[in-house]
Structure 1
Amino acid sequence: MKTAIVFGSTGLIGGHLVNQLIQDNYYNKIKIFVRSQTSINNEKVEVINIDFNNLGNHKTEITGDDCFFCIGTTKQNSPDQNDYQKVELDIPKEIAKIAKANSVKSFIFVSSIYANPNSSGNYVKFKGLVEEELKILNFPKLGILRPSFLMGKRKENRVGEKIGILTFRILSPLLFGPIKKMRPINSENVAKAMIKIAKENLQKITFESDEILKL
């Protein structure tokens, strides 16, 4: 029986992920790290309140078999550049280092379509830099997922993203070849793929959005 570690359990993907992990008999314990109270209540779930400004204080708690990381933010929610960098770059890198030091066997990371450490845009640049760090850490198993526009019910209203999703859903039948990965993807399917990557030996590290859907 395995222990899952989840960062981002209250998000669009994370909510589906925790629900699926609860139903999966492969895991007998799920450790979720949250900043505030959560409504999740299940005998398999251990809720750990975490201070992301002092992650070193939680080194003894970030232990288990498979670490699932799906924390993310937006410029709207984190308008300060330093805060934005902390969420998108610094926190995932530090958590990954702690997990590796604690012999966590796998790290499954939700990145972004077109993640690139050399990009001029901070969002895809930070995702790309985290990907590079994860590869350097050399986990026994590493999964990097690069979903396109995420479909699902969000807590906050993102008008621009909704317009983008609608546009690409209309254009989806026309997206083939290299741009097929731009098709919108359901957040529930991303969560399913994360678990499959952790449980199976797929001989692959990075999964583009269309490859996530195939999983």
Structure 2
Amino acid sequence: MKTALVFGSSGLVGGHLVNELIMNSNYSKIKIFVRSKIELINPKIEIIDTNFNDLEKHRNDITGEDCFFCIGTTRKNSPNKNEYERIELNIPRQIAQIAKSNSIKSFFFVSSGYADPKSSGDYLKFKGLVEQEIKNQNFDKIGIMRPSFLLGNRKEKRIGEKFGIILFQLLTPILVGPLRKMRPIRAEIVAKAMVKLANENINQSIFESNEIAELVR
């Protein structure tokens, strides 16, 4: 039986991920790292009140087998450039480093389509830099998920993203060949794919949106 670690359990993918882990018999414990109190009652769950400004304080908590990282923000929610960089870049990199030093075997990360450490835009650049860090840590298994637009019921409204989702849903029939990775994907599919990847021998580490969908077919 394994212990899973979840960062970002209140997000669109993270919420589905926790449910998948609860239902999966391979896990006896699910550590959920949160910055504010949440109501999640299940015998498998251990909620860890986390100071994300001092992750070293939680080094002894970041132990187990499979680490899942689903934290993300937007410019609207984090308009301060330094805070945005801390959430999108510094926190996931530090967690990956601590996880590796604590001999965690697997690390799974919700990135983005077209993530690139050399991108001119901060969002895609930071995602690419985190991917690079995860790969450099040489975990036994990694899963980098690069979804296109995520479908699901978000707690906050993202008007620009909503418009993009509608547009790409309309365009889906013609998104073929190399463009298939631009197809929108449901958040629960991403969560299912991450758990499947953690528990099966799949010889691939980076998954574009269409490849994530194919994992759970």
Please report the TM-score for the alignment, with normalisation by the length of structure 1.
0.99
SS in 1 for 2:202: coil
Correspondence for 1:33: 33
| 1:170-189 equivalences in 2 (<5 Å) | 170-189=170-189
Q: State the aligned residue count.
A: 215
Correspondence for 2:64: 64
How far, CA to CA, are the matches of 2:54 and 2:112 in structure 1?
A: 26
Shift of 1:58: 0.3
- Please list the CA deviations of residues 146-169 of structure 1 after superposition, one character each: whole Å capped at 9, or x if unmatched: 000000000001111111000000
How far, CA to CA, are the matches of 1:74 and 1:158 in structure 2?
A: 9
* 2:125 maps to 1:147: no
Q: Amino acid of the residue matched to residue 30 of structure 1? A: I
How far, CA to CA, are the matches of 2:41 and 2:163 in structure 1?
A: 35
| 1:21-100 equivalences in 2 (<5 Å) | 21-100=21-100
Correspondence for 1:211: 211
* 2:6 maps to 1:3: no
Correspondence for 2:167: 167
- Please list the CA deviations of residues 6-36 of structure 1 after superposition, one character each: whole Å capped at 9, or x if unmatched: 0000000000000111111110100000000
SS in 2 for 1:93: helix
Shift of 1:116: 0.2
Correspondence for 1:135: 135
Q: Give me the CA root mean square deviation.
A: 0.5
How far, CA to CA, are the matches of 1:150 and 1:21 in structure 2?
A: 20
Shift of 1:186: 0.1
How far, CA to CA, are the matches of 1:39 and 1:168 in structure 2?
A: 35
Q: Amino acid of the residue matched to residue 188 of structure 2? A: E
Please report the TM-score for the alignment, with normalisation by the length of structure 2.
0.98
Q: Amino acid of the residue matched to residue 187 of structure 1? A: A
SS in 2 for 1:14: helix
SS in 2 for 1:22: helix
Runs of 4+ in 1 over 6 A off after TM superposition: none
How far, CA to CA, are the matches of 1:10 and 1:19 in structure 2?
A: 11
Structure 1: 5+ residue stretches without partners: none
Identity of aligned residues (%): 62
How far, CA to CA, are the matches of 2:135 and 2:21 in structure 1?
A: 25
How far, CA to CA, are the matches of 2:205 and 2:72 in structure 1?
A: 20
Q: Amino acid of the residue matched to residue 67 of structure 2? A: C
